[in-house]
Amino acid sequence: MPDEYSEPFSFEAPPFDCLSPEQQALVRGSLRRVSFPKDAVILTPDMDPAHVYVLLKGHVQQLEAGEVVAVYGPPDFFAFRAVMAGRASGVLQALDEVEAWQLPGVTARALIAGNTLFSALVFADLSQRLSAAAENRKSREFLSLMMVRVRDAYIRKPFFVDGGLDLVSVCRLLSAQGQSNALVRDLHGGLERIGMFTTTDLRDALLHPVPPQQLAVREVAQFTLVSVQSDAELSEALLAMIRHRVHRVLVREGDAILGVLSQLDLMSFVSNHSHLIALQVEQAACIAELRTAALQMDGLIALLHSGGARIELISSLVSELNQQIFARLWSFVAPADLVANSCLIVMGSEGRGEQILKTDQDNALLLRDGFVCAELQPSVQRFNQALIGFGYPPCPGNIMVTNPLWCQPLAGFQDSILRWLYGADVDGPMNLAIFMDARAVAGDASLLKQARDYAHHIMAGSDAFFARFAAAIDQFSEPDGWWARLATLRGREEQVFDLKKLGTFPIVHGVRSLALEHRLDEVGTAARLQVLVSRGHIPTDLARDLIDALHFLMGLKLGRNLQQKQLAQPLDNLSHFSSLGTLDRDLLKDSLAIIKRFRQHLQWRYKIAS
């Protein structure tokens, strides 16, 4: 019977919010309130799973193969799967004093049998399982940057001044308030605008020909401000600071300004040094100083991974920092006129923002037609050698700026694209694939846009080419009987899975094929899928599943590679099934099922023989 001395059971949270009045009455009549002391074992694989639990207080961790795969807190529920399967897959243990509602297994089974929506919420689909696993991996023993909301950080209250106020008066107000910056309210074209005045602006203002006591603050304030929402993760604020190279962001709730988050205030919440690397890159005065910053990247990645950061956040941060490193290096090794008349690009996984550890270089240089520079070859050689010193190995396929094929004028690249499309070179399609994943990092980005537009133009309507191009998804096929053995992940021989050939490649290349056909400018796989969904070219559920599967496989590969680095072993793409925990094995099987479904979708779309 329900505990008469406790608050009533809440039917407002899913999955219990979808129960009928009769089913709610069934729950009320069979509930019991229970408690467990810290470290108490609630359920093990050897115990009979007789109850489902809904947490009221405290936290419970789920351990599988010695690894924490989930941490539950109020109002989470757990043990549904154990009750239905008749056996728990792991150990459930109280992390602190726990109070929970205990629901008999017979009641839980009746709810699942009698309510389809309830059952669907309890037993989520593949995408939700993958997403949940990614979220659970964030539950570690320390609060990291990725789990904090901007509103929970130290946000300085906004201090406003009028745009017409002179600088001396503004500085007097800043001194009285103990502030180092002020938000500037000003009317421009009859509309209010918000700017920011900092001590850096004061330094520049002192060089202005108008005396500071006569100079209005609107004349020196910055009105192009970066904003984040208060409910955004703190990581988004960090990424915005790195991307826009600013030290402060406005914090908004809707349109209202709550205050200012500075980089120094953010540091108290940050458990890594990514912002410091960005500052070191920006302030580097020579290649040696830039190398110092670049060599910290692997340590940052390991720290983010151990802290439970989502793989897409790690890849985004790493991609932004790498681009800043490449751009800064190019400014050191190339004369200014070469930088201005060229476009330095990164390609392949680096271009897509999906390469995390330093595996190889994939870069190229587009030159403005007619531009000649005597320092071109020495510059690209210095760039290549410096990157090697920074820890970026040479590309085994020689896809680098030192290769004349990947360092030529725009017209030359357009000729190459034409040959890749319709020539007999066996490497043509893959060269095209690598190039279409390009991202500009320095110089004139319009050169890359012109090359990409040219490629889209000459490919338009070429259904036969798109079919041949997409057929590469089956380039790496599974051995006979492989799927059957994987279903149980057992066998006499050690089973090894190539995370790239059989995992990420079919996703990345299949999405790239659709992106080429539909002339998308986006280069990241997730970004491409989102646009494809918005234009009705791929089902929403399939796109969501593909993104989750890609991120899971990227995370699996990163974990494996970090272990290899720690053991001073060469990095590879192989995953040994015997080293995977139960949850990862299940999620790997789920991911491969998603990939198989995507292959079937592409085979039908492009009429590829299976």
Is residue 247 located within the same domain as residue 294? Answer: no
Is residue 167 located within the same domain as residue 263? Answer: yes
CA–CA–CA angle 372, 392, 377 (5° rounding): 15
Residue 267 pLDDT: 60
Residue 100 near residue 92 (C-beta atoms within 8 A): no
Residue 178, pLDDT > 70, answer yes
What is the average pLDDT across 389-404?
93
Sorted by sequence, the CB contacts under 8 Å of residue 355 that are 6+ apart come out as 315, 318, 319, 348, 349
65-74, 108-117, 166-175, 455-464: range with highest mean pLDDT: 166-175
What is the average pLDDT across 20-39?
92
Residue 489, pLDDT > 50, answer no
Residue 183 near residue 136 (C-beta atoms within 8 A): no
Domain annotation covers residue 538: yes
Domain annotation covers residue 134: no
Domain annotation covers residue 7: no
Residue 477 pLDDT: 64
Higher pLDDT pick, 238 / 432 = 432
Domain annotation covers residue 362: yes
Is residue 294 located within the same domain as residue 425? Answer: yes
Residue 492 pLDDT: 43
Residue 313's pLDDT band, with cuts at 50, 70 and 90, is confident
DSSP-derived 3-state class of residue 548: helix
Residue 136, pLDDT > 80, answer no
Higher pLDDT pick, 515 / 149 = 515
End-to-end CA distance of the chain: 58
User: In this structure, which amino acid lies at residue 355?
Assistant: Q
Residue 481, pLDDT > 80, answer no
What is the average pLDDT across 208-228?
91
Domain boundary among 267, 301, 327: 267
Residue 180 pLDDT: 83
Q: What is the DSSP letter of 179?
A: -
Is residue 290 located within the same domain as residue 256? Answer: no
Residue 444's pLDDT band, with cuts at 50, 70 and 90, is very high
Domain boundary among 409, 430, 460: 460
DSSP string, 376-400: HHHHHHHHHHHHHHTT-PPPTT--S
User: In this structure, which amino acid lies at residue 347?
Assistant: M
Listed range (11-25, 141-155, 316-330, 513-527) with the worst mean pLDDT: 141-155
Domain annotation covers residue 584: yes
Residue 125's pLDDT band, with cuts at 50, 70 and 90, is very low
Listed range (128-132, 203-207, 293-297) with the worst mean pLDDT: 128-132
DSSP string, 115-167: -HHHHHHHS--HHHHHHHHHHHTT--SS--GGG-BGGGS-PBPP-EEETTSBH
Is residue 318 located within the same domain as residue 417? Answer: yes
Domain annotation covers residue 526: yes
| Cα distances (Å, whole numbers) of residue 364 to 21, 45, 373 | 65, 55, 16
Residue 121's pLDDT band, with cuts at 50, 70 and 90, is low
CATH number of the domain enclosing 422: 3.30.460.10
Q: Give the count of domains, the chain.
A: 4
Q: How far apart are CA 445 and CA 366, in angstroms?
A: 9
Residue 275 pLDDT: 62
What is the average pLDDT across 537-549?
94
CATH number of the domain enclosing 564: 1.20.120
Residue 146, pLDDT > 60, answer no
Residue 399 near residue 347 (C-beta atoms within 8 A): yes
Q: What is the CA radius of gyration of the chain?
A: 28
Residue 238 pLDDT: 79
Residue 520, pLDDT > 90, answer yes
Is residue 483 located within the same domain as residue 454? Answer: no
Is residue 252 located within the same domain as residue 217? Answer: yes
Q: How far apart are CA 541 and CA 405, in angstroms?
A: 40
What is the average pLDDT across 521-550?
94
Q: Percent of the chain at pLDDT above 90?
A: 48
Is residue 289 located within the same domain as residue 397? Answer: yes
Domain boundary among 428, 460, 492: 460
Is residue 390 located within the same domain as residue 538? Answer: no
Neighbours of 398 (CB within 10 A): 11
CATH number of the domain enclosing 171: 3.10.580.10
State the virtual CA torsion across 573, 579, 583, 586 in degrees, nearest 10.
60
pLDDT per residue as tens digits for the range 244-303:
888 899 999 999 999 999 876 776 445 445 666 776 788 788 999 899 888 888 878 887
Domain annotation covers residue 275: no
Listed range (126-130, 297-301, 387-391, 561-565) with the worst mean pLDDT: 126-130
Residue 387's pLDDT band, with cuts at 50, 70 and 90, is very high
Residue 68's pLDDT band, with cuts at 50, 70 and 90, is low
Q: Residue 505 sits in which domain range?
A: 470-606
Residue 516, pLDDT > 80, answer yes
Residue 542's pLDDT band, with cuts at 50, 70 and 90, is very high
Residue 5 pLDDT: 41
Sorted by sequence, the CB contacts under 8 Å of residue 150 that are 6+ apart come out as 228, 229, 230, 231, 232, 233, 234, 236, 237, 251, 261
CATH number of the domain enclosing 93: 2.60.120.10
Is residue 102 located within the same domain as residue 202? Answer: no
Sorted by sequence, the CB contacts under 8 Å of residue 241 that are 6+ apart come out as 226, 247, 249, 263, 266, 275, 278
Residue 609, pLDDT > 60, answer yes
User: In this structure, which amino acid lies at residue 134?
Assistant: A
Residue 142 pLDDT: 34
Q: What is the mean pLDDT of the chain?
A: 85
Domain annotation covers residue 141: no
Is residue 252 located within the same domain as residue 317? Answer: no
